[in-house]
Structure 1
Amino acid sequence: MTLPLSDDLKRRIYHWYTTEKNVTMEDCAQRAGCSVGSVAKVMKNVRDFGTVSNPLSKHTG
Structure 2
Amino acid sequence: MSDEKIKKALQEAGITEMISCDQAFAAAEKALVSRGAIGEYCNNNRIKIRGCQLGCFK
User: Normalising by the residue count of structure 1, what TM-score does the alignment of the two structures yield?
Assistant: 0.51
1:18 aligns with 2:15: yes
Residue by residue over 1:5-27, the C-alpha shift from the partner in whole angstroms, topping out at 9 and shown as x without a partner, is: 2x4213213323616xx761110
Bigger share in strand: 2
* Bigger relative contact order (CA 8 A; separation at least 6): 2
| C-alpha distance in structure 2 between counterparts of 1:18 and 1:42, whole Å | 12
Q: Is there any run of 5+ residues in structure 2 with no aligned partner, and where?
A: 48-58
Structure 1 segments, 4+ long, off by >4 Å, are none
Q: How many residues align?
A: 42
Say which of 5, 8, 11 aligns to 1:9. 5
User: Normalising by the residue count of structure 2, what TM-score does the alignment of the two structures yield?
Assistant: 0.53
Q: Is there any run of 5+ residues in structure 1 with no aligned partner, and where?
A: 49-61
RMSD (CA atoms): 2.8
Query: Identity of paired residues, percent?
Result: 19
